[in-house]
């Protein structure tokens, strides 16, 4: 199971393995207070993407698309997390104030899709099958 939690919330019994998934350390937070088992900077959105997003809700959908593209390009950063989630609860820690629009939520959904084997595929729609029209000449038998 993969869940998300603000880094400023205290550790709870059901947190399991706690992983900070931010490029920057949470402001005013001491290492002991965070009680994270790991800090995975490489799985967080790039600095450029994070600054562009700026937690502006109107940019949320585009942020999600771009961040997922970054994750697609860097499977070595997130694949080990799948094993941790299968072994038990994995809590992704984030520092954003907005609990509905942050990178940890995108990462959680992305990991869940890949863990279940239903990773989204980007297929082009199939063109309709070619049919011989009424006015076309039939092929000759050879």
pTM: 0.80
- Could you give the maximum distance between any two Cα atoms of the chain, in Å? 82
For the chain, the domains span 2-115
Which residues lie across from 115 on neighbouring strands? none
Comparing C-alpha atoms, which of 34, 66, 61 is closest to residue 50?
66
pLDDT tens profile 92-130: 999 999 999 999 999 999 999 998 765 554 444 445 555
Question: Does position 82 have pLDDT exceeding 70, yes or no?
Answer: yes
Q: For residues 17 and 13, give the distance between their C-alpha atoms in angstroms, rounded to a whole number.
A: 10
Residues near 52 by beta carbon (within 8 Å), at least 6 away in sequence:
59, 63
Which residues lie across from 5 on neighbouring strands? 93
- Structure confidence at residue 115 (pLDDT): 87
């Amino acid at each position: 199971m993969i869940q998300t939690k603000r880094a400023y919330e205290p550790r709870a019994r059901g947190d399991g393995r706690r992983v900070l998934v931010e490029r920057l350390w949470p402001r005013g937070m001491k290492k002991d207070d965070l009680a994270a088992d790991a800090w995975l900077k490489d799985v967080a959105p790039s600095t450029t993407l994070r600054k562009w997003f700026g937690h502006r809700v109107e940019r949320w959908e585009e942020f999600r698309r771009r961040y997922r593209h970054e994750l697609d390009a860097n499977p070595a950063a997130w694949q080990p997390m799948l094993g941790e989630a299968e072994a038990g609860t994995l809590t992704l820690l984030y520092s954003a104030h907005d609990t509905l629009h942050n990178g940890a939520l995108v990462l959680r959904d992305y990991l869940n899709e890949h863990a279940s084997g239903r990773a989204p595929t980007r297929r082009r729609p199939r063109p309709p099958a070619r049919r011989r029209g009424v006015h076309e000449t039939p092929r000759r038998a050879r």
